[in-house]
């Protein structure tokens, strides 16, 4: 509540007390009761003043575009909450997003957790406090990109704490703890039910503005097949099918979520990368806003990234099973599903 409003509340409370005490000709009992009520009103105003900050946080603003942008007054994702936790994988404390994005993640994780329970969603990088280039990412600059790990189970279907490891077309993975020692490998399974529930919550959230889910094609197909088999509404499946796609880097070990600019951020200079869906155009039109298309990013906006070849070299010695998994991965890393191009 603004400080000016608090001063008005306090003034009204004080005036009421003075009015009751001596501003009118009333009996002593009435005046006493009025004075007591005035003191109570004044105390209530004081409590409001203590409960609300004098200078509330300004709303967030996403400026520019995902691969060349900034974030003003970014909202920090809590480190923990109902159904999620922030992992800070690269030590950059990149847990800032727009108000809309952070709230959408919190809502979807809570909905999923209420339905299924189990281990919480693991959220990795969003953006820096002020946005801008973020190491290990070609985007994540304007508060509208979020990396999350898949929900996972053990081979018996029991939820386990998610780790970042890639899943094959059968939904199988291995947590290779020591790449050179096969004795500590832990088999994992893709938790289709909870991952679908989380994405469905985002798709059905009118305040979220979900634009893209970058995910490998074979996991995308598993999610859509699960939704159809379990009676998900056709509108949900249609929209989830539209926003999910495999980019050049396959995203078989996590999901990359991207959100549209909010209408108010478009007015401030927020730019969206393709695609622009009919439903989002309709939303902007209802607010009398024209979308701004992304431009070619400036060379100075590039962050430090690591190629798959560099990452493999940096990993050190690997046992035969790890090498076998990496060879299998090549079969889907360089080839999207037939009939569906890579997305950007």
The pLDDT score that the predictor gives to residue 40 is 52
C-beta neighbour count of 327 within 10 angstroms: 9
The pLDDT score that the predictor gives to residue 314 is 85
Beta strands in the chain (DSSP E): 61-65, 68-72, 75-76, 80-81, 84-86, 96-97, 121-123, 145-148, 152-153, 159-160, 172-175, 186-190, 210-214, 244-245, 255-259
The pLDDT score that the predictor gives to residue 339 is 58
The Cα 66–Cα 69 span in angstroms is 6
The pLDDT score that the predictor gives to residue 5 is 38
The Cα 106–Cα 81 span in angstroms is 7
The pLDDT score that the predictor gives to residue 240 is 96
- The angle at the Cα of 222, spanning 140 to 318, to the nearest 5 degrees, equals 65
The Cα 292–Cα 263 span in angstroms is 11
Q: What is the layout of strands, in order, in the sheet containing 186-190?
A: 159-160, 152-153, 186-190, 172-175
| DSSP string covering 271-322 | -BPSP--HHHHHHHHHTT----B--PPPGGGPPP---HHHHHHHT----HHH
pLDDT in tens, the chain (344 residues): 444 333 333 333 333 333 333 333 333 444 444 445 444 544 444 444 455 556 688 999 999 999 999 999 999 999 999 999 999 888 888 999 999 999 999 999 999 999 999 999 999 999 999 999 999 889 999 999 999 999 999 999 999 999 999 999 999 999 998 888 888 999 999 999 999 999 999 999 999 999 999 999 999 999 999 999 999 999 999 999 999 999 878 899 999 999 999 999 999 999 999 999 999 999 999 999 999 999 999 998 888 888 878 888 888 889 999 999 999 988 887 765 665 666 76
- The angle at the Cα of 76, spanning 73 to 81, to the nearest 5 degrees, equals 150
The Cα 178–Cα 185 span in angstroms is 8
The pLDDT score that the predictor gives to residue 90 is 81
Question: For residue 22, what is the DSSP state?
Answer: I
> Quick check: 211 and 243 in contact, CB under 8 A?
yes
User: Nearest to residue 332, comparing CAs of 231, 222, 230, 239?
Assistant: 222
The Cα 243–Cα 260 span in angstroms is 12
The pLDDT score that the predictor gives to residue 338 is 60
pTM of the model: 0.81
- The angle at the Cα of 155, spanning 152 to 161, to the nearest 5 degrees, equals 30
Q: Is 60 helix (H, G, I), strand (E, B) or coil?
A: coil
- Evaluate the CA torsion angle 204, 263, 129, 165 in order and state its sign: positive
The Cα 220–Cα 244 span in angstroms is 7
The pLDDT score that the predictor gives to residue 180 is 87
Chain centre distance of CA 31: 56
The pLDDT score that the predictor gives to residue 49 is 44
Q: Rounded to whole angstroms, what are the CA distances from 81 to 103, 109, 113, 117, 119?
A: 11, 9, 10, 13, 12
The Cα 147–Cα 266 span in angstroms is 23
The pLDDT score that the predictor gives to residue 335 is 65
CB under 8 Å to 66, separation ≥6 — which residues?
139, 140, 141, 142, 144, 145, 258, 273, 294
> Quick check: 255 and 214 in contact, CB under 8 A?
yes
CB under 8 Å to 331, separation ≥6 — which residues?
none
């Amino acid at each position: 509540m603004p400080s000016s409003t608090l001063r008005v509340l306090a003034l009204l409370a004080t005036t009421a007390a003075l009015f009751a005490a001596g501003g009118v000709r009333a009996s002593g009992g009435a005046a006493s009761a009025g004075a007591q009520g005035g003191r109570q009103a004044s105390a209530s105003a004081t409590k409001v003043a203590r409960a609300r900050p004098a200078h509330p946080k300004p709303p967030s603003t996403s400026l520019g575009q995902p691969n060349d942008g900034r974030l003003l007054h970014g909202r920090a994702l809590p480190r923990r909450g109902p159904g999620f936790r922030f992992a800070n994988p690269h030590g950059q404390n990149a847990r800032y997003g727009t108000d809309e994005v952070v709230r959408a993640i919190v809502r979807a994780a809570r909905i999923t957790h209420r339905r299924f329970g189990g281990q919480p969603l693991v959220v990795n990088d969003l953006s820096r406090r002020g946005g801008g280039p973020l190491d290990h990412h070609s985007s994540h600059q304007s508060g509208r990109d979020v990396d999350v790990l898949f929900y996972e189970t053990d081979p018996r279907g029991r939820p386990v704490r998610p780790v970042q490891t890639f899943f094959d077309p059968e939904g199988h993975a291995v947590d290779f703890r020591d790449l050179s020692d096969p004795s500590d490998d832990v088999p994992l399974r893709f938790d289709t039910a909870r991952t679908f529930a989380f994405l469905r919550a985002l798709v059905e959230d009118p305040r979220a503005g979900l634009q893209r889910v970058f995910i490998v094609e074979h996991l995308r197909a598993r999610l859509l097949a699960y939704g159809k088999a379990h009676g998900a509404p056709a509108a949900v499946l249609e929209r989830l099918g539209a926003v999910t796609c495999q980019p050049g880097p396959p995203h078989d070990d996590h999901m990359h979520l991207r959100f549209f600019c909010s209408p108010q951020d478009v007015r401030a200079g927020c730019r969206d990368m393709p695609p622009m869906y009919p439903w989002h155009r309709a939303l902007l039109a209802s607010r009398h806003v024209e979308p701004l298309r992304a431009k070619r990013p400036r060379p100075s906006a590039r962050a430090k990234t690591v190629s798959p070849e560099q990452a493999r070299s940096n990993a050190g010695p690997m046992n035969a099973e790890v090498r076998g998994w990496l060879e299998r991965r090549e079969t889907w890393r360089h080839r999207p599903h037939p009939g569906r191009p890579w997305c950007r």
